[in-house]
Amino acid sequence: MSEYDYWKIFPRMPRKITLGDITVRDGFQHLEKFVSTRAKIFYAEEMIFAGCRNIEVTNLGNPYLMPQFSDAEEVLAHLRSERFRKSCAKRGIDPQDLTITVVTIREPAVDRAIALRERGIGPDRCLMMVSTEEEHHFANSGLTLPEYWKECERAIRKCRDAGMQMCGTVSTIWGSPIAGATDMKDAVEFSKRWLEIGATDIEHADHDGSASAPEVYRYFSMILDAIPDTSVHIAHFHETKRVASASVLAALQAGIRHFEGTLGGLGGQPANFLDDCPVPGTGEYYYEDPRYVGLTCLEDMLVQIDEMGIAHGYDVDRVLWLGRQLERTVGHRLRSEAVINGRTLKAGHPEFARPGLKKLKAKFGERPDQKLPAEWAPQAVLPERFRPA
């Protein structure tokens, strides 16, 4: 092993990760246009066919508040259908290997998930969320934190009895868009509380792009010291300052093995306007410009991880193609750079080469692989003042 080996410098960094897709739920909830049921099914299916095994597909809350998810049951029914199972079989995919998640912010949504489960179309996993900053939590749930924790405890018992998992989200870890700075120690304690009341895993969320790489590394180091089992931790980052890729890297360096994102970096606060009509959503937007709101871009994150040599299980080129299709679905340019520029090719792009180099080297009597003047020494001799101590 070289002394410069990355995994020697960061021994906790994984060589294989899980990358979940939450486009159809978290990505689409922010759009002010209704995405057709057929499109939702298409992107959910195609992400699964491209390698996704952990996918979040809808919100089972009151559709009056978020009408984007008024078709929740149709989407879930398709993913439990014989047609979908046959499509998976053709591609060598076992539907039992999939984890289909729905968001269930409040207990009635959990009850709805259980009823769907009894009909054979329910999810494998529900998700509830707390924010360490109570104003942000109240904006999302309409409850105080103490009352919400008691509701979560009841809901987890119900899920367990119905054979479903429950993911507990901890948000505003690195700051709140409403109240500002927060204390990361609260998030560590909340993570422990989720596991104490029976959650199966924890989504650690930066819901407004407040995180910075040093604080991400510090937080996840704190988390893994307190709760060493990496299988229960998921990193969820939003992108508002173009620095989320640094947060992903810092989380990897700390030892996190499970991430999630959205195609095109879509997502953010639920829309309060849909098509031609105002809708409740979660109230007034707490940002100035929707162009700078969203999640970590799945395509770019996937390329980043792939080019680091970390295993992920995806067909990268298929995901990049899907990202380009999604731009057509939403009707505007999204945030992925990888869908435009592709992957870094080891073979380069010889079609861009300027003609005449071989002839010029021959004219000067140079070998094809020669990079230095022939009369120079094989190794450079640094001036003394530049030499390492």
DSSP bridge partners of 262? 297
Q: Give the position of tokens 């929740």.
A: 72
Rounded mean pLDDT of 151-155? Answer: 98
Rounded mean pLDDT of 27-36? Answer: 97
* Distance linking the first and last C-alpha atoms of the chain: 24
For the chain, the residue count is 389
Q: Which pLDDT score, from 0 to 100, does residue 116 have?
A: 98
Asked if residue 19 lies in contact with residue 298, where contact means CB atoms within 8 angstroms, the answer is: yes
Q: Is 90 exceeded by the pLDDT of residue 226?
A: yes
Q: Which pLDDT score, from 0 to 100, does residue 282 have?
A: 87
Rounded mean pLDDT of 24-32? Answer: 97
Q: Which pLDDT score, from 0 to 100, does residue 59 have?
A: 98
Note every long-range contact of 318-322, with CB atoms under 8 Å and residues 24 or more positions apart, other chains counting.
318/46, 318/49, 318/50, 318/51, 319/47, 319/50, 319/51, 319/263, 322/43, 322/46, 322/47, 322/50, 322/263
Rounded mean pLDDT of 165-190? Answer: 95
Q: Which pLDDT score, from 0 to 100, does residue 197 have?
A: 98
The whole-angstrom separation of Cα 106 and Cα 116 is: 16
Structure tokens at 216: 């991400």
Asked if residue 68 lies in contact with residue 31, where contact means CB atoms within 8 angstroms, the answer is: yes
Q: Which pLDDT score, from 0 to 100, does residue 140 have?
A: 86
Q: Give the position of tokens 């709140």.
A: 176
Q: Is 90 exceeded by the pLDDT of residue 126?
A: yes
Q: Which pLDDT score, from 0 to 100, does residue 322 have?
A: 98
Q: What is the pLDDT of residues 48-62, one digit of tens each?
A: 999 999 999 999 999
Note every long-range contact of 212-218, with CB atoms under 8 Å and residues 24 or more positions apart, other chains counting.
212/174, 212/243, 212/246, 212/247, 213/243, 213/246, 213/247, 213/249, 213/250, 214/250, 215/174, 215/184, 216/174, 216/247, 216/250, 216/251, 216/254, 217/250, 217/251, 217/253, 217/254, 218/184
Does domain 12-341 correspond to CATH entry 3.40.50.920? no
Q: Is 90 exceeded by the pLDDT of residue 81?
A: yes
Q: Which pLDDT score, from 0 to 100, does residue 1 have?
A: 53
- Among 178, 180, 187, 185, which residue's Cα sits nearest to residue 132? 187
Q: Which pLDDT score, from 0 to 100, does residue 3 have?
A: 77
Asked if residue 283 lies in contact with residue 139, where contact means CB atoms within 8 angstroms, the answer is: yes
Asked if residue 164 lies in contact with residue 126, where contact means CB atoms within 8 angstroms, the answer is: yes
Nearest-5° Cα angle at 343, 348 to 89: 125
Q: Which pLDDT score, from 0 to 100, does residue 360 have?
A: 97
> For residues 191 and 269, which has the higher predicted lDDT (pLDDT)?
191
| Spans of all domains in the chain | 12-341
Work out the pLDDT band at 344, boundaries 50, 70, 90.
Answer: confident
The whole-angstrom separation of Cα 200 and Cα 202 is: 7
E strand map for 296-343: none
Q: Which pLDDT score, from 0 to 100, does residue 277 have?
A: 97
Work out the number of other CB atoms within 10 angstroms of the CB of residue 342.
Answer: 13
Q: Is 80 exceeded by the pLDDT of residue 255?
A: yes
Whole-model pTM: value is: 0.93
Q: Is 60 exceeded by the pLDDT of residue 199?
A: yes
Q: Is 358 left (phi over 0), alpha (psi -120 to 50) or beta?
A: alpha
> For residues 243 and 121, which has the higher predicted lDDT (pLDDT)?
121
Q: Which pLDDT score, from 0 to 100, does residue 279 have?
A: 97
